[in-house]
Amino acid sequence: MASKKVLVTGGAGFIGSAVIRHLIDDTDHSVVNVDKLTYAGNLESLNSVSDNPRYAFEQVDICNGVELKRVFAEYQPDVVMHLAAESHVDRSIDGPGEFIQTNIVGTYTLLEQARTYWIQLEGDKKASFRFHHISTDEVYGDLPHPEDDILSANPAVIPTEAEGSLAGKNLPLFTEKTAYAPSSPYSASKAGSDHLVRAWQRTYGLPTLVTNCSNNYGPYHFPEKLVPLMILNALEGKPLPVYGKGNQIRDWLYVEDHARALVLVATQGKVGETYNIGGHNEKQNIEVVKTICDILDELVPPQNVIPSEVEGSSNGAKPINSYQELVTYVSDRPGHDMRYAIDASKIQRELGWTPQETFESGIRKTVQWYLDNQAWCQHVQDGSYQRQRLGSKQ
């Protein structure tokens, strides 16, 4: 395959930086990284590739059409991979306006500048241009949970295709044809951006593709998200806050597996198609937390970890025997979806992608990475976020 110039929005973020590292390390493609550098964007995540001649960085807000026009004209990309987004559900509850602005207005602005650029292209460069929009499975709402009474009362809710198995029950999965039913301001804003991308393809002919992924985890993840939050809090003896009963189910996808899938779709996917990307790893949140604790117990036994801020603790608290002792159940998130699960058979069937990491191998790699990269963790927390709870406003 001929090398391409790939414009990646949000390339300093968690998934975006994984995509760029994959593009530079494992392909011949070149990259221009367009990122506003908000609280979750950190160029340290790209230190390993920042000096590569095939990499360039532009600090640009996707809502700034004038600057985007300049970037398109200067770099002449063959592919756009649009990952820039506000992505944390709890933050969207506290301040939904930023999500509307970035995820909807920003996507619209990017689509218009991409369309203006694409229209003036000629020949093979125009024919091969692609706009790949990266989205989330949260746009689909939630799925029946194995603890739902409705499953036993009404078996008809379970379809004959795309079934998952959890706790001995066959349960439906999200497919590319699942209707949208977003629950949070975040997922609603992403649903809106998905609709815009498909409309620009149908109305204007812009060659777009959409992917919807399950929960990502792995290196360079901002500490407000579940996995890094649990690791870092545990190491400091802080509470490990678990929403509700911790029985919310997610399909966990290792970020480097996701990055491979995204580049595959961007370069080989069929225009106008949607591809769901999942890790084949349905886990309850409490299972994830306990697995992290068990790995930490093994790698950094907590002989000298004294719990802080845990209910009932005092200055005379004794060291813990296991990090699981730090688990603290808190009130659930408003509108919390109970189960997500992806049917990723289409991308496997049509593009040959499957995840390389199991949850067990991926989570161990992730815990080890955070143990080895404490300096990155300190630098990415800029002072405005100190792992406090977000999204509890009613």
The predicted model gives 54-65 an average pLDDT of 98
Q: Which pLDDT belongs to residue 227?
A: 96
CB 278 within 8 A of CB 371: no
Task: Tell me how far CA of residue 22 lies from CA of 170, 220, 268, in angstroms.
Answer: 35, 14, 16
Tell me what the pLDDT averaged over the chain comes to: 89
pLDDT at 167 over 60: no
Q: Which pLDDT belongs to residue 156?
A: 40
pLDDT at 313 over 60: no
First-to-last C-alpha distance (Å) of the chain: 52
In this structure, whether the domain defined by 5-222+253-280+341-358 belongs to CATH 3.10.560.10 is answered with no
Q: Which pLDDT belongs to residue 192?
A: 98
Q: Output helix, strand, coil percentages for the chain, rounded to the nearest 5.
A: 40, 15, 40
Task: Identify the band that residue 84 occupies on the pLDDT scale cut at 50, 70 and 90.
Answer: very high
The predicted model gives 41-45 an average pLDDT of 91
Instruction: Show the tokens assigned to 33.
Output: 């990284």
Task: Identify the band that residue 169 occupies on the pLDDT scale cut at 50, 70 and 90.
Answer: low
Q: Which pLDDT belongs to residue 165?
A: 47
Rounded CA-CA distance 336/320 in Å is 31
pLDDT at 239 over 90: yes
Domain coordinates in residue numbering, the chain? 5-222+253-280+341-358
Q: Which pLDDT belongs to residue 64?
A: 98
The predicted model gives 298-305 an average pLDDT of 90
For residue 237, which phi and psi values (nearest 5 degrees)?
75, 20
Task: Tell me how far CA of residue 361 lies from CA of 133, 218, 230, 266, 281, in angstroms.
Answer: 28, 11, 18, 27, 12
Residues serving a catalytic function are 137-138, 186
Task: Identify the band that residue 276 occupies on the pLDDT scale cut at 50, 70 and 90.
Answer: very high
> Mutual orientation of helices 65-75 and 107-119 as an angle, nearest 10°?
40
Rounded CA-CA distance 238/326 in Å is 7
Rounded CA-CA distance 175/346 in Å is 9
Higher model confidence: residue 165 or residue 178?
178
DSSP 8-state assignment for residue 35: -
* Long-range CB contacts (within 8 A, 24+) of 373-382: 373/219, 376/42, 376/44, 376/45, 376/220, 377/223, 377/228, 377/232, 379/42, 379/44, 380/42, 380/44, 380/222, 380/223, 381/223, 382/39
State which amino acid sits at residue 302. P
Residue with structure tokens 């005379």? 316
Task: Tell me how far CA of residue 8 lies from CA of 99, 106, 192, 276, in angstroms.
Answer: 19, 14, 20, 20
Q: Which pLDDT belongs to residue 275?
A: 98
Higher model confidence: residue 311 or residue 37?
37
Rounded to two decimals, what is the model's pTM? 0.90
The predicted model gives 329-337 an average pLDDT of 85
CB 183 within 8 A of CB 335: yes
pLDDT in tens, 133-158: 999 999 999 999 998 864 444 444 43
Tell me the pairing of strands 5-9 and 274-277: unpaired
pLDDT in tens, 86-123: 877 778 788 899 999 999 999 999 999 999 999 999 99
Q: Which pLDDT belongs to residue 197?
A: 98
Rounded CA-CA distance 295/272 in Å is 42
5-19, 316-330, 372-386: least confidently modelled range: 372-386
pLDDT in tens, 213-225: 999 999 999 888 8
Share of the chain above pLDDT 70, in %: 89
Closest to 369 measured CA to CA, from 360, 357, 377: 377
Task: Identify the band that residue 284 occupies on the pLDDT scale cut at 50, 70 and 90.
Answer: very high
Residue with structure tokens 């300049």? 70
pLDDT at 269 over 70: yes
The predicted model gives 266-293 an average pLDDT of 97
The predicted model gives 249-258 an average pLDDT of 97
Task: Tell me how far CA of residue 281 lies from CA of 166, 287, 340, 361, in angstroms.
Answer: 10, 12, 11, 12
pLDDT at 27 over 70: yes
